[in-house]
Structure 1
Amino acid sequence: MPLGVSLPPPPGGASLGDVVRRLADLLEPGPDWCGRADTGIEDVVLAGPGEPLDSLSGALVLAVGARGDEAVEMVTRAAAADAAAVAVRIADDGLSAAVRSAAEDAGIAVLGVPAGLRWDRAEAGIRAALARGRAERPADRGGDLFSLAQTVATLTHGVVSVEDAAHRVVAYAGSGDEADELRRRSILGRSCPESYLALLRGLGVYQRVRAGDEVVPVDEQPEMGARRRLVIGINAGRRPLGTIWVQEGARPLAERTPEMLRGAARLAAAQLVDHYFQGDATARLASREELSHGLLTGRFDAPALAAHLGLDPAAAAHVVAVDLRDPAGSGDAVRADARRAEATGIMSVHAAAYRDNALVVQACGQLYAVLPEPVADPPAGDAPLVRWAEQLVATLRRLTGTGVQAVVAGRAERLADIPSVKLRGHRALHLLTRSPEVTVETHARLTPALVVRDTLDLLDRAPGVRFPAVAALVGHDGAHGTDLARSLLLYLDAFGDVAVVAKRLNVHPNTLRHRVRRAVALTGLDLEDPEHRLAATLQLRLDLGVPDRTDTAFPAG
C-alpha cells in the first residue's frame, strides 16, 4: 500500500514537552532535546538529507538518515522552512554541540531520538501525543480526512490509509506497532515498493475499485512483509479520486468492516475533491455543516439548501435523533465536546454506509442523522431504521462509554418538514431519559406518552382548569406525612391491580386498599366514573411531577 510524504496536518496538536514525555514512555533513557518545551507541534513530516523542505509551519521534521554534518544541515533547513522542531538521531552522549549550536542560531527546537527507538515507533508515539491533544480540546477539525481515517481504524480494528489517485497517502491512522513491514518500508522509503504495486496491478485491484463501491480483499503476502488488506475506491461518478486501505493488525478486522468502508468512501469523496484541487476542505466542510444545520432546524429555505447539499428537494427523509447521555453535572465541557465530535464521526460513517447523501448534524446538544429516501423507493417503515439505530447505538456505547439512546423520529414527506420531525426526536429523547435501559425507541411507540405530557403541559398553563379535591389530597399528604395521592395514582395507572401496586410500594395489599378508600373519602371521587378517573389521573400527574416543556424546533435549553 503506497504511502506518500506530503501529508496534511493531523487533527489536534501537542507541545514539544508532551512529545518528549510520550517518547520517554517508549524507551529508557528517553530522548534528548533543546529549545522551548511549549513549542507547539501540529504535524509530523519525514524527510531525508537533500530532500526539499517547504512550508512546514507547525511541523516536527523527522530527519531520517541524517547524521553528523547532514543533521546540522537539516536543522538549518527545517528552520528556514518554518518548521516547529526537527528530530535527529543521537548516540549515547545525546545531541552534539554542533546540532545544539545550529538550533540556537536558527531559533528552532531539536529532539534527539536514541538509536534504540525506530523511526516508525517514534512517529507513532508523536502522533499519539497529537491525538491526545485533540481529545483534550474542542474538536474543530472533526471533518478532515485524518479524523475519518481514525474513525475507520476504530470501527474496523485495523490500520488505515487514505490515498489519492496518485497512490500518495493523504491521511492515515491506527497503531504504528501493528503496521506491517510493507507499511514501515513505505514510510521510511517514501514510496511503496514497485513489486507490491505490480502485484496489485496484476490482480486487477485498481481496476475493480475504480468500477464502483466493491470492497476488494488483498491476501497476505509474507514474502513482501504484507498482511491481509481490504481496499475500496473513492470515486466521484466515473472519476477515481483515491482509495481507502485497511490493513489487518493484531486482531481480525471487524465483521462490518466492508460496510464501514463503503460509508467512509462516500464521506471521503467530497474531501478528496478539495485535496485534488488544493482547496480548503475544512472551510467547505464547515459550510456544509452550517447548511445541514439550517436544513435540520428550518432556518434557511429547504429547496435552496437541497441544491447546495446535492439533495433532491422532492425527496422524503427519515430523521434519527441520538443523545450520548453524558453524566449530568460532570462540568467537563471540553471532553463532552470532544466526545460528541468523535461520536459525530462514527455516526457519519454508519449513516453514509446506510444511505447515500446522509447528513449528520449536531444540534441542541444531540446528534441527528438525516437520511434522504430515494424518490422511487416506497416507504419502508421504521423496522429497518430501528435495526440500523440499534447497531449504531451499540457501537457508540462501546466506544464512548456513555449510555447512548436513539429515537427514530419519523419520516419527513418533504425536506421542508425536517425541522418538525427533528422536534419530535428532540422531545422523544427528553422523554426517554426516564427509561435508561431502553437503547432505541420510535416516536410512534412513544406517541401516547408524549400526548399525555403535552396535555399536562397545557393544563399547567391553564391554572383555572383544575380538580380542586385532588389538589387538596396532595396538600393533605404534605400536612400529615401520608402517601395517599401517590398510592391512588399508581392504583389508577395499574388499572386497579392491587397486587402489582402493593408490591411496588412495598406494602400489604390491605394497606393499599385502605389508602385508596381513604383517598376516595377525602376527595369524593367516583372510581366507577371514567371521567373521574381520567381527571384524577391528570391532576395527580400534574401535582406530583413537573411536566417537561419543549415547544420550539431549536430550544434554548
Structure 2
Amino acid sequence: MPDGATTLGELLAALDHTVATLVDAPAGESVPVRSVALAEPADLPEHLETEGPLPEVYLLVGVDADATERWLREITARDPGQRPRVLMTKSANDSPAVRAAAAEAGVALVHLHRQARWDQVFPLVRRMLARSPGQRAAADDHDLLAPDTDLFGLAQVVAKETGGMVSIEDPQSHVLAYSASDASADQLRIRSILGREGPSDYLRILREWGVFDRVRRSDEVVDVPEHPELDIRRRLVVGIRRGTPARMLGTIWLQQGDAPLRPDAAQVLRGASAVAARIIARGLDAPSTEALLVRRLFGAHGDGVDVPSVAAALNLPTTGPAAVIGIAAIGPVAGLAASSGLIRLHASAFRDDSVTEAIGDRVYVLLPSYHSEHSVGSWVRRLVAQLEQARGLVVRAAVAAPVAGLTAVAGARAEVDRVLDSPAAASSGSRVSTLAEARTAVLLAEILELVRDRPPLHDPRLAALDDYDREHAAELRVSVRAYLRAHSEVSAAAAALRVHPNTLRYRLRRAEAVLGIDLADPADRLLLEIQLAAVPIAQP
C-alpha cells in the first residue's frame, strides 16, 4: 500500500456499521484512499471540469440516484488513475443502475445511514485519512503512550482493554472518535455516533443525577446505571481535563455490552482520560501555530511574511491563481465567529486545500490555485445562502479573484476589506461582490472619507451657502445637490424637489452668486458635488 495510506477497509471500520455500510467494492477493501471531498448537486459539474486526479473519496450530499448514476457514467470517461475510488451516499444504495455504474467505473459504493450528519461524518473521514501509519500501528499494538497515538486508536485500545464500546466526545457532546460497535449498542450510542442528540428523557435524567456536573468538576469515573425503560445500558464516563485550573476538553463514555465490563475498566478509563487530554491538547496547540501562519499569510501581523516557509508549513502551492474571500456579518457579529467552523467545512468541501481563518469580526477563505472566478462566485453565493438557512446568519461576502499567488494574498485581503468596509457597496443590494464590481462605490466612498477627515480640503465657500440658508430659511444646498444629481436637468431636479422649474432656476442663480462659482463649468460642478457629499452642513 503506497505511502502508508488508509485503506477503504480501515475507513469503514473506523466509521462503524452504525454509520456506513459497504454496498460494493470492485477493487476490494484494501484500496488506498488519501483525499476526500464533499459535493452537492451544483458542485458535480465543476469537479468534472477539474484537470488531474479527483479526490479519492466523495461524500455526495443531496444528490439523488439519477444524478449519481449520470455522474458515475461521466467519471468512467476519465483515466482510471484520475477517478475517485469511493463514493459515499445516502440515496443510491437501493439503485441497481447506480451499483452498475459504480462497478463499471471501478468505484466502491458505501451507503451512509440516513440519519448520519454530514457535518460529523466529513470531519471524521478527514481525520481518519490524516492518520499516519504510526497512529494506526499504535492502536493495533495497544501502546497508549506511543507519541503518535490518536483518539481513534485510543478508543479502540480502551474498548479492547475494558470489554465495552467507547465514544470520545468534545465539551459540546460532539463525537470525536469511537470504537467499533456490536449488536448490543444501545440507542444512545447509535444516535451519538450518527451526530444526533440522545433521548431527551435520558439526558434529563443524567442532569438530575448530576452526571454532567461531576465529570466537569472532578477526575472521578462516574458509574451511570442502566435504564431499561429507555433501553439504555450501563455506562462509565470520565471527564477529559487538563491544566491548572483544569480545563474541560471532553468526555470518554464506555458502554457495557452483553458481557460485564472488566473489573479494572474504571482504572483503564482514568488512564485513557490522561492520554486523551494529551492528544486533544496537542491538537489544540497545533492549530494555534497553524492559525498564526495563516494570519501572517493574510497579512494580519504586518508585512514581511516569509511566504515560501509558510507555504511549506501549510502544504500550499506558492504560485498559480488563487481566490480570497472575505465574509462579514450584517448586524451582530457574534454569530459569524461561532459559524467559522461551518464556513471551514463548506470551504473544505469545495476545495480540500482551502484555508479558513477568523480575523477580528470577519472570516477569510483562501482557495489556492483556483482561478475560475465564475465557479468561485457561484460557491460563495451558495455559502451565503446556506449560512442564512442553517444559522439564520445574514452576511456579505467580497471576492478577490484571480490572485496571482500566495505573495498577493495579504493584498487581496486588503482589497476585500475595502469592499466590506464600503457603505455604498453594502447598500448596493448584492450580498456577494468583487472589488471590480464595487470599484466605483469603494473608491468614491474612500475619496469622500479622505475629504471629510481633512478640514484643509473643505471648501470654505460651502459654509457661506449654509449661512445663507440659515439666515433666509432657504434651501440652496438641497436645490444645488438635486440639480447635480439630475445631471443638470432643471425639470427633473424640480420634479424631485416638488417646486416649479423657475423657482429652481432662481435658487441656482442665488447659489452661484453666494458661492462665486459657475455651474456651467465642469470643474466647478465636480468640486461642488464632492464637497456637498463629503462635508457636513456648517454649524452656526
* TM, length-normalised to structure 2: 0.50
Identity of aligned residues (%): 24
Query: Residue 355 of structure 1 aligns to which amino acid in structure 2?
Result: R
Sort the Cα spacing of 1:395 and 1:119 in 2 relative to 1 into closer, same or farther, 3 A.
Answer: same
User: What is the CA distance between 1:25 and its match in structure 2?
Assistant: 6.4
- Find the residue that maps to 1:424 and give its secondary structure: helix
What residue in structure 2 maps to residue 538 of structure 1? 530
Counterpart Cα distance in 2 of 1:421 and 1:509: 50
Among 425, 431, 436, the alignment partner of 2:422 is: 431
Is 1:289 paired with 2:291?
A: yes
Counterpart Cα distance in 2 of 1:32 and 1:311: 46
What residue in structure 1 maps to residue 408 of structure 2? 417
Sort the Cα spacing of 1:33 and 1:400 in 2 relative to 1 into closer, same or farther, 3 A.
Answer: closer
Is 1:8 paired with 2:168?
A: yes
Among 201, 209, 227, the alignment partner of 1:26 is: 201
- Asked if 2 retains the 8 angstrom alpha-carbon contact of 1:486 and 1:544, the reply is no
- Asked if 2 retains the 8 angstrom alpha-carbon contact of 1:296 and 1:422, the reply is yes
Query: Residue 400 of structure 1 aligns to which amino acid in structure 2?
Result: R
Is 1:317 paired with 2:322?
A: yes
What residue in structure 2 maps to residue 53 of structure 1? none
What residue in structure 2 maps to residue 555 of structure 1? none
Counterpart Cα distance in 1 of 2:482 and 2:209: 72
Query: Residue 409 of structure 2 aligns to which amino acid in structure 1?
Result: I
Is 1:280 paired with 2:282?
A: yes
- Find the residue that maps to 1:409 and give its secondary structure: strand
CA offsets 1:75-99 (integer angstroms, 9 cap, x no match): xxxxxx723x44224xxxxxxxxxx
What residue in structure 2 maps to residue 117 of structure 1? 230
What residue in structure 1 maps to residue 483 of structure 2? 491
User: What is the CA distance between 1:11 and its match in structure 2?
Assistant: 3.8
Sort the Cα spacing of 1:414 and 1:480 in 2 relative to 1 into closer, same or farther, 3 A.
Answer: farther
- Asked if 2 retains the 8 angstrom alpha-carbon contact of 1:303 and 1:313, the reply is yes
Among 443, 455, 458, the alignment partner of 1:463 is: 455
What residue in structure 1 maps to residue 518 of structure 2? 526
Among 387, 390, 395, the alignment partner of 1:399 is: 390
CA offsets 1:46-105 (integer angstroms, 9 cap, x no match): xxxxxxxxxxx97xxxxxxxxxxxxxxxxxxxxxx723x44224xxxxxxxxxxxxxxxx
- Asked if 2 retains the 8 angstrom alpha-carbon contact of 1:498 and 1:509, the reply is no
User: What is the CA distance between 1:313 and its match in structure 2?
Assistant: 1.7
What residue in structure 2 maps to residue 82 of structure 1? 220
User: What is the CA distance between 1:324 and its match in structure 2?
Assistant: 1.6
Sort the Cα spacing of 1:278 and 1:325 in 2 relative to 1 into closer, same or farther, 3 A.
Answer: closer
Counterpart Cα distance in 2 of 1:354 and 1:496: 50
- Find the residue that maps to 2:169 and give its secondary structure: coil
Sort the Cα spacing of 1:23 and 1:13 in 2 relative to 1 into closer, same or farther, 3 A.
Answer: closer
Sort the Cα spacing of 1:475 and 1:187 in 2 relative to 1 into closer, same or farther, 3 A.
Answer: farther
CA offsets 1:310-360 (integer angstroms, 9 cap, x no match): 012223321111112233xxxxxxxx54x2344212211222222341111
User: What is the CA distance between 1:440 and its match in structure 2?
Assistant: 0.9
Alignment of 1:150-189 (within 5 A): none
Sort the Cα spacing of 1:411 and 1:500 in 2 relative to 1 into closer, same or farther, 3 A.
Answer: farther
Runs of 4 or more consecutive aligned structure 1 residues displaced over 6 Å after TM superposition: 22-25
Counterpart Cα distance in 2 of 1:395 and 1:29: 32
CA offsets 1:204-241 (integer angstroms, 9 cap, x no match): xxxxxxxxxxxxxxxxxxxxxxxxxxxxxxxxxxxxxx
What residue in structure 2 maps to residue 372 of structure 1? 368
Query: Residue 437 of structure 1 aligns to which amino acid in structure 2?
Result: G
- Find the residue that maps to 1:119 and give its secondary structure: coil
Sort the Cα spacing of 1:386 and 1:33 in 2 relative to 1 into closer, same or farther, 3 A.
Answer: closer
What residue in structure 2 maps to residue 306 of structure 1? 311
What residue in structure 2 maps to residue 552 of structure 1? none
Among 347, 350, 356, the alignment partner of 1:351 is: 347
CA offsets 1:144-163 (integer angstroms, 9 cap, x no match): 9x9xxxxxxxxxxxxxxxxx
- Asked if 2 retains the 8 angstrom alpha-carbon contact of 1:477 and 1:484, the reply is yes
Alignment of 1:221-232 (within 5 A): none
Q: 5+ unaligned residues in a row in structure 2: which ranges?
A: 1-15, 19-154, 156-164, 175-196, 240-247, 260-275
Sort the Cα spacing of 1:388 and 1:483 in 2 relative to 1 into closer, same or farther, 3 A.
Answer: farther
- Find the residue that maps to 2:224 and give its secondary structure: strand
Sort the Cα spacing of 1:524 and 1:297 in 2 relative to 1 into closer, same or farther, 3 A.
Answer: same
CA offsets 1:162-214 (integer angstroms, 9 cap, x no match): xxxxxxxx99xxxxxxxxxxxxxx988599xxxxxxxxxxxxxxxxxxxxxxx
User: What is the CA distance between 1:422 and its match in structure 2?
Assistant: 0.7
- Find the residue that maps to 1:326 and give its secondary structure: coil
User: What is the CA distance between 1:363 and its match in structure 2?
Assistant: 1.3
- Asked if 1 retains the 8 angstrom alpha-carbon contact of 2:318 and 2:406, the reply is yes
- Asked if 1 retains the 8 angstrom alpha-carbon contact of 2:328 and 2:336, the reply is no
* TM, length-normalised to structure 1: 0.49
- Find the residue that maps to 1:316 and give its secondary structure: strand
Counterpart Cα distance in 1 of 2:17 and 2:338: 27
Alignment of 1:196-345 (within 5 A): 280-297=282-299, 299=301, 300-327=305-332, 336-337=333-334, 339-345=335-341
Sort the Cα spacing of 1:407 and 1:501 in 2 relative to 1 into closer, same or farther, 3 A.
Answer: farther
Q: 5+ unaligned residues in a row in structure 1: which ranges?
A: 15-21, 43-56, 59-80, 90-112, 131-139, 147-169, 172-185, 192-273, 328-335, 547-557
- Find the residue that maps to 2:456 and give its secondary structure: coil
Is 1:472 paired with 2:446?
A: no
- Asked if 1 retains the 8 angstrom alpha-carbon contact of 2:452 and 2:458, the reply is no
- Find the residue that maps to 2:168 and give its secondary structure: coil
Sort the Cα spacing of 1:399 and 1:308 in 2 relative to 1 into closer, same or farther, 3 A.
Answer: same
What residue in structure 2 maps to residue 360 of structure 1? 356
- Asked if 1 retains the 8 angstrom alpha-carbon contact of 2:512 and 2:518, the reply is yes
- Asked if 1 retains the 8 angstrom alpha-carbon contact of 2:398 and 2:416, the reply is yes
- Asked if 1 retains the 8 angstrom alpha-carbon contact of 2:317 and 2:369, the reply is no
Query: Residue 87 of structure 1 aligns to which amino acid in structure 2?
Result: V
User: What is the CA distance between 1:473 and its match in structure 2?
Assistant: 1.9
Sort the Cα spacing of 1:463 and 1:345 in 2 relative to 1 into closer, same or farther, 3 A.
Answer: same
Query: Residue 168 of structure 2 aligns to which amino acid in structure 1?
Result: P
Counterpart Cα distance in 2 of 1:29 and 1:439: 42
- Asked if 2 retains the 8 angstrom alpha-carbon contact of 1:24 and 1:31, the reply is no
Counterpart Cα distance in 1 of 2:412 and 2:361: 17
